[in-house]
Amino acid sequence: MDYLDISLQLSEDDIAIKNAAHEFAEEIMRPAAKALDEMSAEDGVAKKSPLWPFLKKSYELGYHRILLPEAYGGLSLSPLQLNLVLEEWGWGSMGLGVLLGVAAFPFFAIALTGDDELIEKYVIPFCECTDGSIRGCWCGTEPEHGSDILYFDDFFKNPKIKGNVQARLKGDSWIINGQKSAWVSGGTIATHGLTFLQVDPSKGMAGGGVCVVPLDKGVSRGKPLEKIGQRDLNQSEVFFDDTKIPANHMITEPDYYPEMVDLILGAANAAMSALATGVARAAFEEALVYARERVQGGVPITKHTSVRQRLFDMFAKVEACRALSRAVFNFNFNVSPPVTEYSIAAKTRCTQTCFEVTHEAIQILGGNGLAREYLVEKIFRDARASLVEDGLNEMLAAAGGLTITETYPRKSSDIY
Amino acid sequence: MSVVFKDTVKAKEFYKAFWTDLINELGSQIDISLLFIVKDPDFMMYIDSNGIKIDDEIGDAKADIQFTLSVDTAHQFWLKELSLPKALATRRVRTKGSLPKVMKLLPLLKPAYARYREYCEKYNLPQKI
């Protein structure tokens, strides 16, 4: 369903990009997401899975390169256009939206470095790929570390706290050992990982690094994770066993690792807010369509005041999510480095609101809302997962709280 | 206090010459405008395909991308002693303007690194900080 966009700033290009992304979300994402949701996690990544034609189509259409610069074959979308596309992806499927986002992650990070050799070796082939055979993931989460790696309180520098994946320099190479936990999005099928790991244990978690790891040698994966929601997003453990990468693949070393994590979080959380807005809108639309048709007491339930009030509340929440997400996206993709507490505010608020709206949608559908036959059953589960992924909302709030207690109010002259 | 430039006049002269040369080489490839707010010594420089404007010459011109950085940071960047991600993450370079435009600029600057060293030799500037 289309919606009235209350921004008067959208250009013809913006609208065309939004419409194309909506068509993709409706015709390609939703059918694939529904099929994957109903399969076991293992079948979801098997040879005959609908995942593969979905990825092929996505790459053919160029959606894997929306973040990347034109000079390397990317689409160079503006911040607003990125936000529009991500909302539509969320509307189609949050899980598959995350999968497409992380597929570009290592290549986006390399493009930022401007390193010719790495760009030639990785970014250009990724942009040229049209069959989905080159896929990235974000190897962040560890068995003993999750959202805490995003929270730079005192413990972050405690040398007693060890990372579960460590790298040591040997000659011209880094040797990597350890384990990432089962929530590596796209980890089951990724060919390359943007990997966060510990380089200097004497600095605790602050002694980290960020590197790009081809996942073909010295790497094994766990079984795909069975989970409550976003079942269309494959996730698994990634194990590193004396995995060797050239020295220049370590793109961030401990001297600015915390700042780099903050920068990446600022971008990723903003993206999550747009995806969550799309999920909330999908739930609202499903509830509205159902309520217009469902007859109770001899009239469509839209004639009942309580239903009208609840639908309006859902509508208002979706609009509020979009306004916050777009504002933060527009700001944080137009200043560098981003002001991360605003991205955190958008992620936590939009995912929480999206969970509430999907919950309301189930209430309006009643018993049908609990049935697999209806989309709201799936998107409610997807929305629940969003409260945990990309940083547990409570931990993100603690991290954002630490920042605002130290820096609020920020001055624009300190930002740009 | 800058360790590279002792006075503003020399810094302006150096960067104006460097960018003029670069723009002549790139021609229409530079289809965006840049504003550098340089600190220590303080001056502003506006760049587009038509040329360079400094301080008062800039007037009301609006740039696609604005960079705020110290002159020593700029020097380190051009000498490839400081990567853009590190400069951004540590706030040594702050930008205003869309990230895709910033990223679009990077590949265009490739020929400039070697030329920057040539300029350093010509102006007798340190090639390491």
pLDDT, tens digit, 9 for 90 and up, residues A135-164? 999 999 999 998 888 888 888 899 999 999
Q: How much of chain B is helix, strand and coil, in % rounded to 5?
A: 50, 20, 30
Fold exhibited by the domain A136-256: Butyryl-CoA Dehydrogenase, subunit A; domain 2 (2.40.110)
pLDDT for the residue numbered A95: 98
Please measure the distance between the N-terminal and C-terminal CA atoms of chain A and give it in whole angstroms: 39
**B63 vs A: CB within 8 A:** no
Bond preceding residue A258 cis, omega within 30 of 0: no
Residue indicated by tokens 């991205």: A343
- In a mutational test of the A interface, the residue from B26, B90, B103 whose CB has the highest number of chain A CBs within 10 Å is B103
Confirm whether B129 is domain-assigned: no
| Closest CA–CA distance from residue A286 to any residue of chain B (Å) | 35
pLDDT for the residue numbered A381: 98
ipTM score here?
0.89
| Closest CA–CA distance from residue A307 to any residue of chain B (Å) | 42
pLDDT for the residue numbered B26: 85
Find the residue in A nearest to B66 (Cα).
A416
Phi/psi for A39 (5° steps) reads -95, 165
Q: How much of chain A is helix, strand and coil, in % rounded to 5?
A: 60, 15, 25
Q: Of A282, A278, A232, which Cα lies nearest the Cα of A35?
A: A232
pLDDT for the residue numbered B101: 86
- Report, in angstroms and rounded to the nearest whole number, the Rg of chain B calculated over CA atoms: 14
Q: Of A134, A261, A266, which Cα lies nearest the Cα of A206?
A: A261
Chain B residues near residue A337 by CB distance under 8 angstroms: 88-89, 91, 94
| Closest CA–CA distance from residue B125 to any residue of chain A (Å) | 25
| CATH code of the region A258-415 | 1.20.140.10
Q: H or E element: which one contains A213? A: strand A208-214
Confirm whether B82 is domain-assigned: yes
- In a mutational test of the A interface, the residue from B76, B92, B94, B98 whose CB has the highest number of chain A CBs within 10 Å is B98
| CATH code of the region A12-128 | 1.10.540.10
The closest CB to that of B94, out of A251, A259, A336, belongs to A336
pLDDT, tens digit, 9 for 90 and up, residues A266-276? 999 999 999 99
Confirm whether B75 is domain-assigned: yes
The CATH number assigned to the domain holding B115 equals 3.30.1050.10
- Within 118-177 of A, beta carbons closer than 8 Å to B belong to none
Question: What residues contact A256, with CB distance under 8 A and at least 6 apart?
Answer: B86, B89, B90
**B39 vs A: CB within 8 A:** no
DSSP state of A231: T
pLDDT for the residue numbered A146: 87
Contact A111 B103 (CB under 8 A): yes
Confirm whether B36 is domain-assigned: yes
Contact B107 A335 (CB under 8 A): no
Chain B residues near residue A334 by CB distance under 8 angstroms: 96-99
pLDDT for the residue numbered B8: 92
pLDDT, tens digit, 9 for 90 and up, residues A31-55? 999 999 999 999 999 999 999 999 9
Contact A114 B106 (CB under 8 A): yes
Q: What is the mean pLDDT of each run of 10 residues along chain B (129 residues)?
A: 89 95 86 94 94 95 95 95 92 92 84 92 90
pLDDT for the residue numbered B94: 95
Identify the segments of chain A with pLDDT beneath 50.
none
Contact A78 B98 (CB under 8 A): yes
Contact B99 A77 (CB under 8 A): no
Instruction: Report the alpha-carbon distance of residue A164 to residue A145 in Å, rounded.
Output: 8
pLDDT, tens digit, 9 for 90 and up, residues A105-117? 999 999 998 899 9
Domains in chain B, number: 1
The closest CB to that of B89, out of A68, A263, A334, belongs to A263
Domain layout of chain A by residue ranges: 12-128, 136-256, 258-415
Instruction: Give me the domain span that covers residue B61.
Output: 8-123
